[in-house]
A and B are shown apart, each in its own frame.
Chain A
Amino acid sequence: MRLFGEPIEFEKQAGIGSPVWRGRADSGEALSAFAVAAHRADGRLAALWGSDERLRSGCFRLNCVFGFSAGHAWVGLDLPANRPAYPDLAGIFPAANRMQRATRDLVGIATHGGDQRPWLRHGAWPADWHPLRHDAGEGRDFPNAPSDYDFVQVGGEGAHEIPVGPIHAGIIEPGHFRFSVIGERLLRLEQRFGYQHKGIEKLFIGMSFAEGARLAGRISGDSTCAYAWAYASAVEAACVISPPPRALMLRALMLERERVANHLGDLGALGNDAALAFGFSQFMRLKEDWLRLNGKFFGHRFMMDRIVPGGVALDLEAPALAAVVEQCDAIGREVKELRKIYDEHAGLQDRFLTTGVIDAALARELSLSGMAARATGLLLDGRAWRQGYTPPPPWSTLGVRPATDERGDVAARAAVRFAEIFESLRLLRELAVGLPDSAVCVEVPPAPGASGLGVIEGWRGEVLVGVAYDDGGKLARVHPHDPSWQAWPALEHAVMKDIVPDFPLINKSFNLSYSGADL
Chain B
Amino acid sequence: MLKRILRTGIVSEPPPEVLTAEQREVARLGEEILRILGRALTIRQVDAGSCNGCELEIHALSNPYTNLEGYGIKFVASPRHADMLLVTGPVTKNMEHALKVAWDCTPDPKLVVAVGDCGCCGGIFGESYASCGAVENVIPVDVRVPGCPPTPVALLQGILAAVRR
Interface residues of A (CB under 8 A from B): 122, 124-125, 131, 138-140, 142, 144, 146, 166-167, 169-174, 194-200, 202-203, 214-215, 218-222, 224, 265, 278, 281-282, 284-285, 287-288, 291, 295, 301-302, 304, 337-338, 341, 345, 513-515
Contacts and interface: CB of A to CB of B under 8 A. Distances in A.
A291 B151 CA distance: 11
Interface stretch (B15-23, B24-32, B34-42, B59-67): B59-67
B139 interface: no
24 contacts: A138-B128, A144-B93, A144-B96, A167-B102, A171-B58, A195-B92, A196-B92, A198-B49, A199-B128, A203-B128, A218-B51, A218-B148, A221-B149, A281-B8, A282-B4, A284-B63, A285-B64, A287-B60, A302-B53, A302-B56, A302-B149, A341-B1, A345-B1, A515-B52
User: Looking at chain A's contact residues, is the secondary structure mostly helix, strand, loop, or mixed?
Assistant: loop
Contacts of A337: 4
B128 A198 contact: yes
Given A171-B58, A220-B51, A146 B97 contact: yes
B1 A278 contact: yes
A171 B151 contact: no
Nearest to A292: B65
Contacts of B157: none
A220 B4 CA distance: 34
A284 B62 contact: yes
A131 B128 CA distance: 10
Contacts of B93: 122, 124-125, 144, 197
Interface string B78-117: 1000000000001011111110001000000000000000
Contacts of A341: 1, 4
B47 A285 contact: no
B48 interface: yes
B145 interface: no
A55 B62 CA distance: 52
A513 B52 contact: yes
A338 B4 CA distance: 9
B145 to A, nearest CB: 15
A146 B5 CA distance: 49
B54 interface: yes
A360 B4 CA distance: 37
Nearest to A201: B130
Contacts of A138: 128-129
A515 B116 CA distance: 16
A515 B97 contact: no
B51 A166 contact: no
Contact of B130 (A131, A172, A214, A514): A131
Given A142-B129, A198-B92, A199-B131, A285 B54 contact: no
B94 A124 contact: yes
Contact of B63 (A198, A278, A287, A513): A287
B148 A284 contact: no
Contacts of B50: 173, 196, 221, 515
Nearest to A513: B52
A192 to B, nearest CB: 10
Interface residues of B, number: 48
Nearest to A283: B63
A220 B96 CA distance: 20
Given A171-B55, A172-B55, A174-B47, A194 B128 contact: no
A25 B135 CA distance: 45
A211 B11 CA distance: 40
A219 to B, nearest CB: 6
Given A138-B128, A285-B8, A337-B4, A221 B56 contact: yes
A514 to B, nearest CB: 7
Given A171-B45, A282-B4, A288-B65, A122 B94 contact: yes
A212 to B, nearest CB: 11
Contacts of A139: 128-129
Given A221-B51, A265-B59, A284-B62, A140 B128 contact: yes
Contacts of B60: 284, 287-288, 291
B1 A222 contact: no
Nearest to B43: A171
A72 to B, nearest CB: 25
A503 B77 CA distance: 16
B98 A195 contact: yes
Contacts of A515: 49-52
B64 A124 contact: no
Contacts of A198: 49, 90, 92, 125, 128, 130-131
B59 A197 contact: no
A171 B59 contact: yes
A220 B128 contact: no
B160 interface: no
Contacts of B11: 285
B46 interface: yes
Q: 7 smallest A-B Cβ distances: which pairs?
A: A221-B53, A124-B93, A199-B130, A139-B129, A284-B63, A169-B77, A221-B51
A89 B128 CA distance: 31
Contacts of A295: 151
B142 interface: no
A196 B118 CA distance: 13
A278 B5 contact: yes
A214 B124 contact: yes
A478 to B, nearest CB: 14
Contact of A221 (B4, B54, B92): B54
A281 B129 CA distance: 41
Contacts of B56: 221-222, 265, 302
A513 B93 CA distance: 19
A146 B93 CA distance: 9
A282 B8 contact: yes
A218 B102 CA distance: 26
